Amino acid sequence: MQKICVRQALAGQTGFHTSSDLAPLGHLLPQGEKGLSRRALLASSLALAACGQTEAAPTLAATPLKSIAPFPIGTAAMAGQFDDPAWVDLALTHVSQLTPEWEMKMEYILDRPGRYRWDAPDRIADFCTAHELRLHGHALIWYSQGADQFAGLDRPAFITGFDDYIAAVASRYRGRVVGWDVVNEAVAEDGNGLRDCHWSAVLGQDGYIARAFELAKSADPDAILFLNDYNLENNPTKGATFLRLVERLLKAGVPVGGLGTQSHLDIEIPAGQTTAFIREAAAFGLPIHVSELDASLRSDGRIDTRSRQTRLNQQTARVAELAEAFVALPAAQRYGFTVWGLRDTDSWLRRDARDDGKDSPLLFDASGRPNPMFGAVSAALS
C-alpha cells in the first residue's frame, strides 16, 4: 500500500492546486526514494495519509518532535489524561512542556475570593516534576471567567480579591512554572480595541492588564509573563491592535515579558499572512509562544464543496508556514511551540454539538497515529 501511494503522489495525484499549498515534508519519504524535489516530497507524505494512516504511521512517527526541535514542544493537558497510558506515552514521546488546558484557570481554582481548589493543578505540576517537563501556567486573568465569583463585591473588595487571587496562584507555583499567561484574550473579537469585561469595568481596559502583570511579577519574579490572544494571524486588524497594546504597555513600564499567539489557525487565510504577523511580533525582541495551535478542517457557516484532501492540503500549508516562521525566530525568542491537544479526540473542537466526528485539527488521530499536520510540523523542525 505505501509504495503504491508514493507512486500516486509522485505522479501528481494529490490534488495540489497552488504552490502556497505545499509544505516541506522531505524527511518523511521512505528510505528508497532519494533526491526528489520538495514538492514531490510533500506530495508523497500527504498521499500516504490519504491512502491510509495505518501503514504510514511507522514512517511518520519515527522521530519524536522534542528530539528534533531546538526549543520546547508543548501540549495542553488535563489531569485526567494522566490515567490514560496511551496519552501519557504519546506525550512523553513528543513533548517537553505542558500547559493546563482548564484546571489552572480561575473557573476551576476559585470558588469565591479567598477559597481555592488546588487538586488538579497540583497534579499537573507534580506530573511535570516527575517527568522533567516544563510547566507553562495558563491563565491568571481572562475576560471569560471570574464574573460569577466577583459578582456583588464593592470596589475595595473586588480589587482585594483580584490582587489576592493572582498572588495566591502565581506564588503557589513559583519556581515550578516557567512562564504565565498573565492576561488572556484582552483584544476585542473583531480587533477594534480592547474588550469590555468585569475586570475593565472596575480597573480600566489597560488598568486591569497592567495591574495583573505587576502582581504576577511580584509573586513570581523569575517567570516569563505573557500577554496571550487568538486570531492574531487570522485577523490582521486584531493582530495590529494586539501589537499596539504591547507597545503601549511596554512604554508604560508594565513587565510584559513574552507574547503568546494561540494560533487556532483558519486554513483559509492567505499564504504569507502568518509569517507577516510573527515577524511584526518579533520586532519587540520578546520571547514568543505559539500557545494553542490547532487547525480545524470544518467550514462552519460556509458552504464547502471542496474535497477533504484539498482541505488537508490547505491545513498542512498553513501549519507549515507557522512552524517555519517560528523556527526562523532568533533562538532567544523561541519560548515554545504548543499544540492544543495531541489526538483529534482530545481537542476542544470535538466537544461541542457541531462535531460530526470527522474534524482532524491536531497532530495525531484518535489512535495516536500521525496526521498530515504532524508531517508539516516535523518537516519545519527538521
CA dihedral of 281, 225, 293, 355, whole degrees rounded to 10? -130
Is residue 17 domain-resident? Answer: no
The tens digit of pLDDT for each residue in 194-209 reads 999 999 999 999 999 9
- Asked whether residue 44 carries a pLDDT value surpassing 60, the answer given is no
- Asked whether residue 8 carries a pLDDT value surpassing 60, the answer given is no
- Asked whether residue 382 carries a pLDDT value surpassing 60, the answer given is yes
Across the chain, mean pLDDT equals 87
Model pLDDT, residue 357? 84
Q: Which string of b and e fits 147-180 if b means at least 16 CB within 10 Å? A: eebbeebeeeebeebbbebbebbbebbeebbbbb
H or E element, residue 86: helix 85-94
Q: Range of 246's domain?
A: 63-381
The tens digit of pLDDT for each residue in 295-344 reads 999 876 666 777 889 999 999 999 999 999 999 999 999 999 999 999 99
The tens digit of pLDDT for each residue in 94-131 reads 999 999 999 999 999 999 999 999 999 999 999 999 99
Model pLDDT, residue 240? 98
Of 6, 32, 37, 1, nearest in space to 19 by CA: 37
Q: Which of 130-144, 184-198, 297-311 has the lowest mean pLDDT?
A: 297-311
Is residue 33 domain-resident? Answer: no
- The count of structural domains within the chain is 1
Is residue 18 domain-resident? Answer: no
Q: List the CATH number of the domain containing 131.
A: 3.20.20.80
pLDDT > 90 in the chain, percent:
78
The tens digit of pLDDT for each residue in 358-369 reads 899 999 999 999
Is residue 37 domain-resident? Answer: no
pLDDT > 70 in the chain, percent:
83
Grid coordinates belonging to 87: 496519552
Euclidean distance between CA atoms 170 and 17, whole angstroms? 49
Model pLDDT, residue 303? 67
- Asked whether residue 14 carries a pLDDT value surpassing 50, the answer given is no
Using a 10 angstrom Cβ sphere, with 0-12 exposed, 13-18 middle and 19 or more buried, the burial of residue 128 is: buried
- Asked whether residue 40 carries a pLDDT value surpassing 60, the answer given is no
Is residue 12 domain-resident? Answer: no
Confidence of residue 55 (pLDDT cuts 50, 70, 90): very low
Looking at residues 233-246, what average pLDDT do you find? Answer: 98
Looking at residues 204-227, what average pLDDT do you find? Answer: 98
Is residue 57 domain-resident? Answer: no
Is residue 35 domain-resident? Answer: no
Is residue 159 domain-resident? Answer: yes
- Predicted TM-score (pTM) of the model is 0.85
Task: List all residues 6 or more positions away from 161 whose beta carbon is below 8 Å from its beta carbon.
Answer: 113, 114, 149, 150, 153
